Amino acid sequence: MLSFKNTTLFSEISIYFKENDSSEAVFTLLRFLRSFNLPLDVLNLRDKPNAQFSRAQTLMLLILSSFFSVKNVAGYAGSYLNKLLKRHKDLFYRFLSDGSIEWRKVLYCFNRQLLHKITARSDSQRSSDPICLIIDDTDFPKRGRKSEMLGYIYSHVKKSHILGYKGLFLLRSDGKTQTVLDYSVHGEIGKNKEKPYGMKPSERKKQFHKKREERESAVSERVSEYDESKISTSIRMIKRAVKYKIKYDYLLADSWFACTEIIRYVKTRAMECHYLGMIKMGNTKYEYKGKLMNHKYAKSAAGKEMESENETLSCRMPGQTWWHGCQTILLQKE
């Protein structure tokens, strides 16, 4: 039985969630997950000789948990899933803390097979909607101060510094389905050398530290990305998506990612793709018809020419006039 009765399910999966019968949904989703091919050696999911439960089974249970409102590992004990498939929480903690698992490869392994199933559908083949890659970051606020490499970050939502991490995500969307392709965790070291990440040296010493083994290369890669620029990490994410043969028409991002490096990379690809996003409203200079100007004058100059040369559109907002057209404006470095 669903935990939230007022939740409207998608028509394609609602038939599996019958009233007073959660077992039907569990076994249907299990059958679907079993159709995925998981190369255990490539993903470092090979089981130990004395393992009672396989890593692949543990991964499937974690995926199933999201369908049954299990918010964390501790909540699994009281869930309906635990009645069908009895597991202790330590099993999940050991699995999630294993630094040898290639989570990026696991994510792409599922995504590529899932996209193959989606694109094989007749409605996807008939669709002419563009495919977008979406790059965006978000805040992960924390309360405690002892988590590994924790520090203060600037929240663009709260307009202030908060304790937590920055998460960077790459998604694929075709207008109907949206999948997470890649992610990374970042911190902001700041300009104060006496208080890196906004933390006192005494607070940094109390944080969790661990010397990584050679087999934990997947975690070591995450750690090395922590202090890297989100711009360079974003470009590597897009390159990785292209490597895994993820095709796209547009890269969609907000104004923070509108910079020379990302736009130049997108426009120099062999495939026909474009960058779609707002321009920055800061001190960035734009070149329009040989003249350097800030965003205000660039929009004004280009807009007047577009208004005179292109079709004017009606607008429901009083006192507003819209027009569409195309003008070339070069993005210069700040």
Does the pLDDT at position 313 exceed 50?
no
> Which tops the pLDDT comparison, 161 or 20?
161
Report the number of distinct structural domains present in the chain: 3
Domain boundary among 83, 98, 113: 98
252 and 108, same structural domain?
yes
Question: What are the pLDDT digits (tens) for 253-276?
Answer: 998 898 888 988 888 887 788 888
Mean pLDDT value across residues 161-189: 93
262 and 295, same structural domain?
no
223 and 270, same structural domain?
yes
85 and 30, same structural domain?
yes
- Range scoring the smallest mean pLDDT among 150-154, 160-164, 214-218, 240-244: 214-218
Q: What does the block give as tokens for 15?
A: 């038939």
Question: What are the pLDDT digits (tens) for 221-247?
Answer: 889 999 999 999 999 999 999 999 998
295 and 265, same structural domain?
no
pLDDT of residue 233: 95
247 and 137, same structural domain?
yes
85 and 110, same structural domain?
no
Does the pLDDT at position 290 exceed 90?
no
Domain boundary among 40, 72, 98: 98
157 and 43, same structural domain?
no
Q: How far apart are CA 327 and CA 306, in angstroms?
A: 7
Q: Which among 167, 168, 142, 164 is positioned nearest to 154, based on CA atoms?
A: 164
Residue 237: CB partners within 8 Å, gap ≥ 6? 135, 168, 170, 181, 182, 184
131 and 245, same structural domain?
yes
236 and 221, same structural domain?
yes
Domain boundary among 98, 119, 146: 98
pLDDT band at residue 11 using 50, 70 and 90 as cut-offs:
very low
> Which tops the pLDDT comparison, 314 or 260?
260
93 and 11, same structural domain?
yes
127 and 156, same structural domain?
yes
pLDDT band at residue 23 using 50, 70 and 90 as cut-offs:
low
Provide the domain limits for residue 61.
1-98
Residue 203: CB partners within 8 Å, gap ≥ 6? 145
Residue 52: CB partners within 8 Å, gap ≥ 6? none
Q: How far apart are CA 139 and CA 316, in angstroms?
A: 35
pLDDT of residue 312: 46
Three-class SS string for 243-288? HCCCCCCEEECCHHHCCHHHHHHHHCCCCCCEEECCCCCCCCCEEE
